[in-house]
Amino acid sequence: MTIRAKGIFKGFPSGSGFLPVLKGAEMEVKEGEIASVVGASGAGKSTLLHILGTLDRPDQGKIEIDGENVLGLNGRRLAEFRSRKLGFVFQFHHLLPEFSAWENVAIPQLIAGFPLSQAKKRAYELLEQVNLREHSEQFPNQLSGGEQQRLAVARALANQPKLVLADEPSGNLDKKSSEELHNLIWELNSSRSQVFVIVTHDEELAFRADRVYRLKDGVLTEEKG
């Protein structure tokens, strides 16, 4: 499995007319690799991640995931592709507060059409892997910030995605919790051979990755790979 971004251009209207954010971005990440994207705040890192995750569309360019041009998908086919092959971890975890930990992990599976018994079994297995099994019946507001982000990682992995996209996953955590989350991501990646793309301002974290891309003035440059 490989993800390729080819000639990605994206801009937004601004007071002065039009602000180009991505100027022909190119990247490639292969199965089992972790890639990081670094750059100043407002450089367009999250915009790139949203395009890779089909949450936004570029003005020009092509995204291939598992050999498929995902920008050619729309409607139901795009929703199914996103549900089955993509996982997301955001800086603000977006957990559903009215549901327990295991239910938060089960819900993406239920949306994808898996039966409840199977979804619950997998939810508990994932909670075990992120060291949250003992908190499976607790609600998000009963968990610490680090625990909430580990739960968000478990939810992102619920449907065994080919690609996991993480946007500043440790941005709101203290140093200890950040290190624990980073180590967890690397452990999960080594055991699953998925592709992880992580947007971060943390240079130390970034250079642990197999590939490092820097976004500056709309231009994406590979610094390690």
Residue 200 sits in a domain whose CATH number is 3.40.50.300
The three-state DSSP-derived secondary structure of 52-67 is HCCCCCCCEEEEEECC
Helices (H) and strands (E) in the chain, counts: 7, 10
For 187-196, the pLDDT digits (tens) are: 888 877 788 9
140: amino acid identity, one letter:
P
- Number of independent structural domains in the chain: 1
For 26-69, the pLDDT digits (tens) are: 999 998 899 999 988 878 899 999 999 998 999 999 999 888 88
Say if 68 falls within a structural domain: yes
Write out the DSSP string of 99-134: S-HHHHHHHHHHHTT--HHHHHHHHHHHHHHTT-GG
Say if 40 falls within a structural domain: yes
Say if 121 falls within a structural domain: no
Give residue 116's pLDDT: 95
60: containing domain? 2-95+143-224
Say if 114 falls within a structural domain: no
Q: How far apart are CA 58 and CA 69, in angstroms?
A: 13
Give this prediction's pTM.
Answer: 0.88
